[in-house]
Amino acid sequence: MNYCGLIVGLSTFLIIGLFHPLVIKAEYHLGSKVVVDFRSLRGDIRDSVSAY
């Protein structure tokens, strides 16, 4: 039996579980201080893709 998929799945589950409290704390402390303008990011991606 190939255990590669099981190992990858469990590893992903553990990584998400371990870093989730850090994400929650960062969101609580930073809140809306860190705001990314997704519209401009989307425009930058569109412009870089359309150049090719």
Question: What span, in angstroms and rounded, lies between the C-alpha atoms of 44 and 33?
Answer: 22
Instruction: Output the pLDDT for position 11.
Output: 96
Instruction: Output the pLDDT for position 50.
Output: 59
> Which value, in Å, is the radius of gyration of the alpha carbons in the chain?
18
- The predicted-structure confidence for 1-52, as pLDDT tens digits, reads as follows 789 999 999 999 999 999 999 888 888 877 766 666 555 666 665 666 555 5
The count of residues in the chain is 52
Rounded to 5 degrees, what angle do the CA atoms 21, 40, 52 make?
Answer: 110
Instruction: Output the pLDDT for position 35.
Output: 60
Instruction: Output the pLDDT for position 9.
Output: 93
Instruction: Output the pLDDT for position 34.
Output: 61
Report yes or no on whether pTM surpasses 0.85.
Answer: no
50, two tokens: 């359309």
3-state secondary structure of 20: helix
